[in-house]
Amino acid sequence: MASLKPLLYYLIILFVAISCKKEETKNSTELADEVTIIAQEKEAILKTLNNETKAAFQRDYDAWQEKWVHDPDITKIYLDFPENTLSESVGWEEISGFVKTFFKENPEPEPVPKLLDSIDVRLYGNGAWVTYEQQDSLRGRKRETRLMEKVNGEWKIAGMQTTIYGFKNVNETSK
């Protein structure tokens, strides 16, 4: 029995080494698949955000509303430092009403800002946390945070926070 111990140890080490190697190969394949999926999801989110922005600036309510989750728990917040204003809307009915009123009071389309080509995305299953900055020709620099949800295979906006800094440098506004 004593002579079998070294052989048994050898077999266990061999088995562990083979298992680790298989797992390593599996993980690299899974990693490549995950990177591809993340890139595809990021591109789909980017498309939703750009289409929502175009629709809003062109005053196309129907196209705009298609990009939003219609749920009583969604939120939309604007914090405008240059104007010293804050607006918060909670729930689809309130957000929709706010946008309809804004479009009615401001019916002329605005210049569409340069569309996004870069966003930071954190995916959480059927949800995503998205952040980016954008230059608006009428309002200046904006920082946006969007909560996204995948509904029936399409990314939609479930939350939005926009901070408008205007045309001054952020460091100048904090002085």
Of residues 47 and 10, more confidently modeled = 47
> Is 24 inside any structural domain?
no
**Helix and strand tally (H, E) in the chain?**
4, 6
- CATH (domain of 84): 3.10.450.50
User: In this structure, is residue 6 part of a structural domain?
Assistant: no
112 inside domain: yes
Give, as one character, the DSSP assignment of residue 124.
E
Mean pLDDT over 10-18 rounds to: 73
Digit-coded pLDDT (tens) for 94-131: 999 999 999 999 999 998 888 999 999 999 999 999 99
To the nearest whole number, what is the mean pLDDT of the chain?
A: 88
Range of the domain at 163: 30-173
Give the number of other CB atoms < 10 A from CB of residue 42: 18
The more confidently predicted of residues 53 and 6 is 53
Q: Is residue 12 part of a domain?
A: no
Q: Name the pairing type of β-strands 75-80 and 154-166.
A: parallel
What confidence tens digit (pLDDT) does each residue in 20-58 have?
655 555 577 887 888 888 899 999 999 999 999 999 999
pLDDT at 147: 98
Residue 136 pLDDT? 80
90 within some domain: yes
Do 70 and 61 form a contact (C-beta atoms < 8 A)? no
Q: What is the pLDDT of residue 175?
A: 45
For residue 7, is it within any domain? no
How many CB atoms neighbour CB 104 within 10 A? 10
**Position with higher pLDDT, 30 vs 84:** 84
In a domain, 135, yes or no: yes
The total of structural domains in the chain comes to 1
Residue 13 counted as domain residue:
no
**Stated pTM of the model:** 0.77
